[in-house]
Chains A and B, each alone.
Chain A
């Protein structure tokens, strides 16, 4: 893709003014100096901008979860073998392959002359494959990238790998002919949009497999739960190890999903429909067994803020809504002065976070709370007003959080923060979580009523 021409506005002569040019020139000069001297970083990032360094080829693609990690690994290994790269390191989610430089007089010389290891390693071409699971979208993100050596040697591997992966993806998807010829069988109902019958029955199907000791995967999960309970029997010790317990849970979820996708009969069309709920179902099953223990550990770790928040909230519960809103300097139009308590639906929804048994359930609860908060405003003003800017939203969120009755909200939010940080693909949810977390901190430590 060609770089787009910079948009020049007629009115933006200021940007092209002598002063701006002067700054740019000064910064370029600084940059050149810093590059020449290899000096340490300066305070502001802009002064560090350099000429683009060597770029290595890389390839990123999103694939369905049904394309197992082991299959992707195999394709990558084949590509490496084909181009004479050797696997130097492999973890559960990554592979590193490298190719030592071929014999030459220069290399022989480098063996005799003392050259630093770092410099030697620069001659080795290295390519990495990274696989991450986007838990929110239930997809796998595959990244293959060169990290050192000669880009032209790395490129063919990535090309071969890409072609093989694309073929594998095509294989996964039914052909247009297959799609058109597939008619719903007698027993197969078309899933109505408004209910989640298929999701519920999928959850049941997976629970049957996971709870059964006769399946390898069920045994794996049962053993993990037992081990987890033993390892973290002492909650205080477990609290000190946080977020390790959560990492353990996430690891077993990945393994279980992987195993289910590898061993289930995916050629069956009804299985395909069920498999889309595989990851959420596994997560729901495993967390439902362990969430109490996990949250207790977080409760102990964040005991102090839980207590401060609780004390302040109890105090705010003795005040009337309009007083609190006044104190938060909410704009009059967002105070929603009516017969029922303002933002009551959002408050009730946030209260239900305590009864959710999975992190995703809790995150959805926060999303729903934020939506109901905004809906309350448009509903009250019959669509004439909207709660849009963060300047306006944050005080309302603080008010809503101050009105909840849910136990240990601060530690629950910290649990969700760790869940999101350990995961992938939760950018938007993270923003939301930060708003609620900020509200909790404000109530616990900042709000001078």
Chain B
């Protein structure tokens, strides 16, 4: 049986879709079977970030409504054999996502894949609660900024009350993925520091993804950052996060803080 992960945040634009794609591609590069599922019905983006937007024929809603089989809707990645995408519908209404339908699809996916990664829509409406409902663990994506932290806190409350795990009286495993982190700005007080965010949210840290142009560049060419440029700082941070998801214990490095004198000179010249 595979593991179901929900990538969620409450707030929009913090990097859920980017992180879903990057973690999915990182896990698939370990030769594990991965499917990334887009739950953002009506505002789908995961197909773009995965570079599969021109290969979408059937989608999640079609499968839920019984208009297509799961195998017809799944899109295999062109670069990684073990990576698949289940796209969301762009034209259908999100009310077509039924609790029973979602449960059926997730159960089927769990049987075939090692990892089922659900990209949640922003907000706390039915789309978001359905995406988290059947998860075994949650990745809470947060920017080092007060509104994102408060929204994440709200989502953690929902993860502890509205999911199947919570209703069975079990504890939902939750991990914090801090994205768009800039240690210089955190040092100057323009951004919350890692320890501030951890103190407020009090859940274990999965990784810190540095703010980087590489992320945007990768999205624009339709490739997860862990595939586009595996040597870039954000990609390496995502690879480490994926290893931690798989159960490895690795020390967390705060990106940019171990930068030597070389980096400092460079930064000054750039400014």
Q: Does chain A bind chain B?
A: no
